[in-house]
Amino acid sequence: MKNKRQRRRVRTQYMITAGLGLAVTFIFIIQAVLPRTNNGTTSTSVPTSQSDVGITPEPTSLRAPTLESGIPQITVLDSHLNSTGLFQFFQPGDDWYMERDDYNTDYRRASTVYISPSRLSVIHAFVEIGTNYPSLQAISDTVLTDVYFNTEWGQYKSWRYTNRQVTDSLITIDFALEDDRNELLKYIGRQISWLENDWLYTVRIVVPDNNPVLLDRLFELSMPTMVGYHNIGVFPLLGWKEFSDQSQRMMIKLQEVWTQIGGSSGRPITYAGATLTEGYEVTIQRIPGQPLESLEAAQTWLSNFRIGIQIVEGRPTTQTFAQGYWFSYTYNTVEGDPVSAAASLLNDTDGNLYFAELRTPERDANFLATDLTEQRLIGQQIIESFTVLAPIGYSIVPGTTGQQPAQPSEATTQEAATPESDTAPEATAPFGG
């Protein structure tokens, strides 16, 4: 009797062990065959190579939104300046959030991406600089191909063309897209691209397939706001970012290690360098109603602003929204320490003056020279990157030339004499007074 109970107990333990083993095996099979799940939804990992190129992401929600009646109401904020300083673009309010704002070196592409969870929509604007395409038709035929869009739409389950149109000014391509997380969710997308010299601009928007009115509305609001700053394209992009006061329409490019040490929006702002540029400072400010109509007038103003300077070199410069002059000069602090400085003086069409001054604890440096040390080259790039931004509310017609830059009135001068003036300085700045 005892032996029978022991045999029964052994059989029971064996069956339990075998059952657990089969259960574990079944779990491993399920994990190997089915996609991973997260919160009850399926998802497919995107290869690193796709994630790295700045492809257009999927909307975040897995539920289709309720359609609005009439024209979609979109809150429009002040334009956003991309972190590279290469372009500014539409910025929506409400629940739209910025998913990405970056620069991809492989594509030479600066991107800004917004996502709206409530509207299940994505806005992706980007600029690719230094392109070399003979025409928009060539771009459509050789660049915007199936291979290209297999990568760009890499986070979607599937995509297909629904329309493609190439005109003298625009490439417009429409798409149908499917979500790999919910087969009931389908989208429509549109990409519009245009050339401006050797820059290729693109706006790409995705919305639910039952809301084409929203797609049209987002393009209507966003495309005219995409303004490029071509002068920034010649400066370093990696390791640098824009520092700006958009309320005052001014921007400067600095290395990421620089920090703001004084000032605020609407007032002069001062930044300080670090590492290789330790001891460098730059101040930017806007001075209303101060037109400088010639190189000599700019020299006079600068000499009144900074008493006792010796100008080493001055030259004119032109931007899309301003014209003005760059100067390199030296002076001594009240303690007698030498300072080498550079300045950018820019006028907009209303005669407002935008002023940036770089100050360094060096002796007899010419920041406008062609043969510079690495440290001084950084200083030159900083002062020459100072940019007047587009007027508030400015809009473009994509695919057209747009506003032409103002023309400076003077040729380059070197070793210019400091003019005499009894007028008191109109502003003051730190670093030696």
Beta-carbon neighbour count of residue 146 at 10 Å? Answer: 8
Least confident of 36-40, 175-179, 351-355, 413-417: 36-40
> Class assignment of domain 236-414?
alpha beta
3-state secondary structure of 81: strand
pLDDT in tens, 190-212: 999 999 999 999 999 999 999 99
What's the distance, Cα to Cα, between the start and end of the chain in Å?
Answer: 107
pLDDT at 423: 32
State mean pLDDT over 343-354. 98
Tokens 């007698």 belong to: 336
Sequence spans of domains, the chain:
48-228, 236-414
> Class assignment of domain 48-228?
alpha beta
3-state secondary structure of 343: strand
Q: Decide if 113 contacts 59 (C-beta within 8 A).
A: no
Res. 69 pLDDT band, cuts 50 70 90: confident
- Within the chain, what is the greatest distance between any pair of CA atoms? 123
State mean pLDDT over 47-63. 55
Domains 48-228 and 236-414 alike in fold: yes
pLDDT in tens, 394-414: 999 998 854 444 444 344 434
CA distance 119 to 121: 5
Pairing label, strands 37-38, 186-196: unpaired
Distances in whole angstroms, Cα of residue 101 to Cα of each of 8, 81, 112, 201, 203: 68, 10, 4, 15, 14
pLDDT in tens, 135-146: 999 999 999 999
State mean pLDDT over 117-122. 94
Res. 62 pLDDT band, cuts 50 70 90: low
Mean pLDDT of the chain: 83
Say if residue 4's pLDDT is above 90: no
pLDDT at 407: 42
Burial zone of 363 (CB within 10 Å; 0-12 exposed, 13-18 middle, 19+ buried): exposed
Distances in whole angstroms, Cα of residue 320 to Cα of each of 54, 156, 227, 231, 272: 28, 39, 10, 9, 28
- Rounded percentage of the chain residues whose pLDDT exceeds 70: 78
Q: Decide if 107 contacts 53 (C-beta within 8 A).
A: yes
Using the Cα atoms of residue 123, residue 79, residue 250 and residue 349 in order, give the sign of their dihedral. Answer: positive
Listed ranges 8-22, 49-63, 284-298; the one with the highest mean pLDDT: 284-298
State mean pLDDT over 342-353. 98
Beta-carbon neighbour count of residue 180 at 10 Å? Answer: 16
* Structure-model confidence comparison of residues 149 and 130, the more confident one: 149
pLDDT at 252: 98
